[in-house]
Amino acid sequence: MEKVEKIWFDGEFISWDDAQVHVLTHTLHYGLGVFEGIRCYRCDSGRTAVFRLREHVERLFNSAKVVDLKIPYSLGEIEDAILETIKVNGLEEGYIRPLVFIGDGAMGLYGYENPVHTVIAVWPWGAYLGEEGLEKGIRVKISSYTRHHVNTAMTKAKVCGYYVNSILAKKEAKDHGYDEALLLDTEGYVAEGSGENIFIVRHGELKTPPLTSILEGITRDTVIRIARHLQIPVREERFTRDELYMADEAFLTGTAAEITPIREVDGKVIGEGRRGEVTALIQREFFDIVKGRKPLFEEWLTYVGEVRCETGSG
Ligand code: PPE
**Over residues 87-107, mean pLDDT:** 98
What are the CA-CA distances from residue 201 to residues 137, 252, 261, 265, 282 (Å)?
Answer: 14, 12, 11, 14, 11
Coil, helix or strand for 79? helix
**pLDDT band per the 50, 70, 90 thresholds, residue 313:** very low
**Over residues 215-223, mean pLDDT:** 98
Ligand 1: nearest atom to the Cα of 256 = 24
Cα 105 to middle of ligand 1, angstroms? 30
At 151-171, the pLDDT tens digits run 999 999 999 999 999 999 999
CA angle 272, 273, 278 (to 5 degrees): 65
Please tell me whether the overall predicted TM-score, pTM, comes out greater than 0.95 for this model: yes
pLDDT of residue 314: 38
Cα 14 to middle of ligand 1, angstroms? 27
6-126: CATH topology: D-amino Acid Aminotransferase; Chain A, domain 1 (3.30.470)
Q: What is the DSSP letter of 159?
A: B
State the catalytic residues.
Answer: 158
Question: pLDDT above 70 covers what percent of the chain?
Answer: 97
Distance, C-alpha 4 to centroid of its chain? 21
CATH superfamily entry for domain 131-275: D-amino Acid Aminotransferase, subunit A, domain 2 (3.20.10.10)
Angle at which helix 218-229 crosses helix 53-66, to 10 degrees, equals 140
Q: Which residue in 37, 34, 36, 38 sits closest to 66, CA to CA?
A: 34
Question: pLDDT above 90 covers what percent of the chain?
Answer: 96
Strands 205-208 and 234-236: parallel
Cβ < 6 A, ligand 1 pocket? 37, 166, 192, 195-197, 215, 217-220, 253-257
Residue 265, pLDDT above cutoff 90: yes
Residues β-bridged to residue 116: 102
Residue among 56, 174, 197, 213 to mutate when testing ligand 1 (max atoms within 8 A of CB): 197
- Which amino acid is residue 58, in one-letter code? E
Cα 37 to middle of ligand 1, angstroms? 7
Question: Which sequence spans correspond to the domains of the chain?
Answer: 6-126, 131-275
Ligand 1: nearest atom to the Cα of 257 = 24
Q: Please say whether the beta carbons of 60 and 35 come within 8 A.
A: yes
At 55-90, the pLDDT tens digits run 999 999 999 999 999 999 999 999 999 999 999 999
Residue 310, pLDDT above cutoff 70: no
Average pLDDT value for the chain: 96
Q: Whose CA is nearest to atom 4 of ligand 1?
A: 195
Residue 273, pLDDT above cutoff 90: yes
Strands (E), 128-240: 138-146, 180-184, 190-193, 197-202, 205-208, 234-236
Residue 311, pLDDT above cutoff 70: no
